[in-house]
Chain A
Amino acid sequence: MTKMDKLSAFSRRSVLKGAGALVVSIGMPVGLDTVLAVNSAAAQGAKPPLVPNELDSYIAINADGSVSAFFGKMDMGQGLFTAIGQMVAEELDVPFERVTVIMGDTATSVNQGGASGSTGVQMGGKQMRAAAAEARRVLVDMAAAKFGVPTEQITVADGICRVGAGNDDAARSVSYAELIGGKYFNTQLDWNKQIGNLLYAPGKAKPKDFKDHKIVGKPLPRADIAPKVFCTEDFCTDVRVPGMMHGRMIRPPVAGSVPAKVDEASIKDIPGAKVVREQGFLGVLAEKEWDAIQAAQKLKVEWTEVKPPFPTTAEIYDHIRKADVRKRQEEKPVGNVEEAFRSAARVIEAEYEWPFQSHACMGPACAVVDVKDDKITCWTGSQKSHFVRDGIADTLGVPAAKVHAIWVTGPGSYGRSDADDAAMDAAVLSKAVGRPVRVQYMREEGTGWDPKGPASIHRARAAIDASGQVTAYDFLSKAFSRVDVNTNGSKPHDTLAGHFRGVPLNSGDGFGVPAESYEFTHKRMAWETIPPLLDRASPLRSSHLRDPVGPQIHFASESFMDEVAAALNLDPVELRLRHVKNPRDIAVIKAAAEKSGWQSRPSPRRDQTGNKVSGRGIAYAQRNGTRVAIVAEVDIDRQTGKIWARKFTVAHDCGQIINPKQLKTTIEGNIVQGVSRTLWEEVQFDNKAVTSVDWTSYPILDITETPETIDVVLINHPEIEPTGAGEPSIRPVAAAIANAIFDATGVRIRRVPFSPERVKSSLAAAEGGVKRG
């Protein structure tokens, strides 16, 4: 099984479906009862349309007995498709190797939301599991009809239906391939009328009881590793189509300005170079990629004068503090917080700050778009290809049915990155020149112009009564919205091509509150959003970056819990266990503490002198049903300010584990990326533009700074439906490190990143304070 078996999989599907996969034939709608009554007759039916309520939209039994699973989400490299293959094989009772998961192609899958919110298994897998169970039920019905026995007498193993268990009589057995191979189920599902993540369309069959699982839960390997290691897999950057031109985009030097004058003669010496300009949209094309790059560098452009729109990096938190609140939302307030603070014996307060951060994908985004009169084809690394299809249709003013978007592995993807923008840019360029166009951004666009994780401030306070009990907890985030542009590129107001062609930014409101189960008599959690810095194409527009707003919120809330523990002279684990009420939350906290060898004592430790000191810290969070607790152990060089996040112990509970091996490496990636974002990452800007535009100005974690150990404790609950794992474990990383720094030094750092300069100055300031005091 390989997910990259796209061409052959596609051909098989084309064969299976007769006419080209793009042709959607609208067959006679067949009611569920009719289908069930006719059983095998249904399998002879016409190709049904690719719609969410058709079983054929998810599962095909091919003539050779192999199974195609058509998945409207996709794997960003964490092994999701392996888990989906396991879930499908499990429900169908076929060997895992027989299932091919085909992802993210709008011609073969319905819109299940793409990669989004760690819902690949939680929601996408749930649907694939339901569809596979339904497919098995239909096949068993067909076998029972064939042998004239009740369905209860049919057993299935390895894709072969038999009358009775272990019956080797060939006359009383029939394979899936013989029953339906190469034909259609024409079985209708009970679709909830949602598309995207929420799409759910079960059949009549109930998925297996977890006690019967044989494939789910196994540490099966990913099939995309060898193709990557031996270079037989193509990335979206490798797609080439006949007649293709190379495009590059020109971005304004001051955000908000547009080209006033473009001197096309300035690139006349570059063979075949062309300029495409539509209002503020400015791109160049050439036959050769190097020529397109040269043209982008040499093209002389005069830009309109605009007032520089941004505060500087140093001013951003003051800007947030002073900005008008656009929307405020409180979530589930308990008791009377204001009254509790009025009567408190003591109040603990703190404020935390988190910077804008960049996706900074390994390579800047790339897309190839071929606009033809009758159809448009797009190859994209976007993690939401169905929405890219819709975005291209809207951008070019054609029906979505005319657009075919094909996801091909991109250079990393951790949310709404620059990938969707590249697809729209390529579409506009291809339409303008009437030829297929490949656009790959340069590094400075990939880091400078991608949508950013929003900057934020967080205020927390706790009321303590005379007996030292926490009676009230109040947490407020004030921040840029998480969605200046939406989490997908389906609308021109959400993409740079749209903005530069005159569609204003349509910033939505959204942030979030801590996800935990702390109980206090009085508790209030709220967020406030502020307007974006610019109402059009902006290198500081916000959108979703891995675990959107999770790292910032929980950096604040879980740092604050430690501040409360320290103020009450309590062990940080003990304070959490006093107030955390959910048993699964308690279990992850205890598991992380125990595995790490946690010694119960208050922080900070006071037994270290000298330059190099060490500390430990804990943090915990939930995320949509998953819960994670992390113990970080860090070493600090007080003179240089350099932090080494040396060891992590991660306890992780996401309900049922589908594939423990892939889960473990997914968690490792989350931790390392989380350390990077905590120690190094901060988008830099002046009042005109983003100035962190490469790996020097936007540094990430180096391998010399990698943790020595990441111990992962997987807590499996096979009886609980699986929840997400792609993002939850990045969530508590920053707070665990901050708490460990405090433990080691007694100094609380409340602003990320913990760069050597910041650590040094924080330590110096604390020392100065002590001396002055």
Chain B
Amino acid sequence: MSQRFTLNVNGKQHTVEADPDMPLLYALRNDLSLNNPHFGCGLAQCGACTVHLDGQPIRSCVTAMSAVGAAKITTLAGLGTPEKPHPLQTAYVQEEVPQCGYCINGWIMTAASLLETKKKPSDAEIKEALSGLKCRCGTHMAILRAVKRASEMMG
């Protein structure tokens, strides 16, 4: 049966009626019309649906509505804007990373979390943190350049 949930997304409160078992992804996309998290697999295997829950990257395609609680949700659109971009977004634009761009949420949201905890990660640490995410266009080289660049920008 449907229940009422209050979601805190990108600093705004929203009320959603949903099945408690429904993954958060569908509430973000369909009820709140936030298109940035994407459906890639529904199995937590690719990262296209990644958002932050209290700053931690999670796969919204397998996170049930009932598990979200009062946690603060941040999507890629909430990470930064063209006027006030996150350094990773700036670096992504400068390095022209995406090809199709469908995978972008996983990489940026996961890298953002990494750079929060470790300002100057080594190449190996970056790869380890991003391991498991998928990019089918093969933009891996550019992703690594952009994360390095963002890390340098963050001083």
Contact = CB atoms under 8 A, between A and B. Distances in A.
A221 B48 CA distance: 25
A670 B141 contact: no
B36 interface: yes
Given A228-B98, A694-B41, A695-B41, A669 B104 contact: no
Interface string B18-44: 110011001001100101101111110
Interface in A208-249: 221-222, 224-226, 228-235, 237-238, 240
Interface in B49-105: 75-77, 80-82, 85, 89, 92-93, 96-104
B9 interface: no
A8 interface: no
A702 interface: yes
B80 A230 contact: yes
Contacts of A290: 18-19, 22-23, 26
A669 B132 contact: no
Contacts of B38: 235, 237, 362-363, 411
Contact of B99 (A76, A229, A704, A707): A76
Contacts of A228: 98, 101, 104
A82 to B, nearest CB: 10
Interface stretch (A159-167, A426-434, A590-598, A671-679): A671-679
Nearest to B128: A704
A450 to B, nearest CB: 12
Nearest to A668: B141
Given A668-B142, A706-B141, A235 B102 contact: yes
B112 interface: no
A409 interface: yes
Interface residues of B, dominant DSSP: loop
Contact of A703 (B96, B104, B140): B140
Given A230-B82, A413-B100, A710-B141, A673 B89 contact: no
B136 interface: yes
A742 B151 CA distance: 39
A198 interface: no
Contacts of A609: none
Contacts of A661: 96
B133 interface: yes
Contact of B138 (A79, A237, A676): A676
B134 A695 contact: yes
Contact of A77 (B77, B92, B100, B140): B100
Given A76-B100, A228-B98, A363-B48, A288 B30 contact: yes
Interface in B100-155: 100-104, 108, 127-128, 130-144
Interface string A400-440: 00000000011111100000000000000000000000001
A361 interface: yes
Nearest to B45: A695
Interface in A687-715: 694-696, 700-704, 706-707, 710
A442 B43 CA distance: 10
Q: Which secondary structure dominates where chain A touches chain B?
A: loop
B96 A221 contact: yes
B39 A362 contact: no
Contacts of B45: 443, 694-696
Contacts of A225: 92-93, 96-98
Given A235-B38, A240-B33, A668-B142, A703 B133 contact: yes
Contacts of B81: 230
B100 A362 contact: yes
A360 interface: yes
Given A225-B92, A672-B140, A289 B134 contact: no
A700 B136 contact: yes
Given A237-B38, A412-B100, A443-B42, A362 B136 contact: yes
B54 to A, nearest CB: 21
A78 interface: yes
B46 interface: yes
B136 A703 contact: no
A665 interface: yes
A443 B26 contact: no
Contacts, number: 164
Contacts of B143: 703
A146 B141 CA distance: 54
B100 A410 contact: yes
Nearest to B34: A231
Contact of A409 (B26, B80, B93, B100): B100
A624 B54 CA distance: 52
A138 to B, nearest CB: 35
A452 to B, nearest CB: 15
Nearest to B81: A230
Taking each of A228, A233, A674, which has the highest tally of chain B beta carbons within 10 Å of its own beta carbon? A228
Contacts of B36: 231
Interface residues of B, number: 56
B136 A360 contact: yes
Nearest to A294: B19
B20 to A, nearest CB: 11
B139 A669 contact: yes
A335 B107 CA distance: 55
A237 B41 CA distance: 13
B138 A235 contact: no
Contact of A671 (B77, B108, B138): B138
Contacts of B140: 672, 701, 703, 706
B72 to A, nearest CB: 18
Contacts of A701: 138, 140
A706 B43 contact: no
A232 B98 CA distance: 14
A354 B60 CA distance: 36
B138 A668 contact: yes
Interface in A53-89: 76-79
Contacts of A363: 38-40, 48, 102
A410 B138 CA distance: 16
Interface in A628-662: 661
Interface in A77-108: 77-79
A219 to B, nearest CB: 10
Count chain B CB atoms within 10 A of each CB in A288, A361, A413, A695 and give the residue with the most.
A695
Nearest to A361: B136
Given A668-B142, A673-B136, A229 B127 contact: no
A706 B127 contact: yes
Q: In the complex, which of the residues B22, B46, B102, B137 has the most CB atoms of chain A within 10 Å of its own CB atom?
A: B137
A412 B102 CA distance: 7
A410 B46 CA distance: 16
Contacts of A230: 77, 80-82, 85, 89
A703 B35 contact: no
Contact of B136 (A224, A231, A412, A702): A412
Nearest to B101: A228
Contacts of B18: 290
A673 B102 contact: no
Contacts of B133: 703
Contacts of A702: 131-132
Contacts of A289: 26, 29-30
19 contacts: A77-B99, A77-B100, A225-B92, A231-B76, A235-B35, A237-B38, A238-B29, A240-B33, A362-B134, A362-B137, A363-B39, A364-B39, A442-B42, A670-B138, A672-B141, A676-B138, A695-B45, A695-B134, A703-B133
Closest 3 CB pairs of A and B: A672-B138, A77-B99, A228-B101
Interface of A: 76-79, 221-222, 224-226, 228-235, 237-238, 240, 288-290, 360-364, 409-414, 440, 442-443, 661, 665, 668-674, 676, 694-696, 700-704, 706-707, 710
Given A230-B77, A237-B35, A443-B40, 16 more contacts: A77-B98, A228-B104, A229-B92, A231-B36, A362-B134, A362-B135, A363-B38, A409-B100, A411-B38, A412-B100, A413-B100, A443-B45, A674-B138, A700-B134, A700-B136, A703-B130
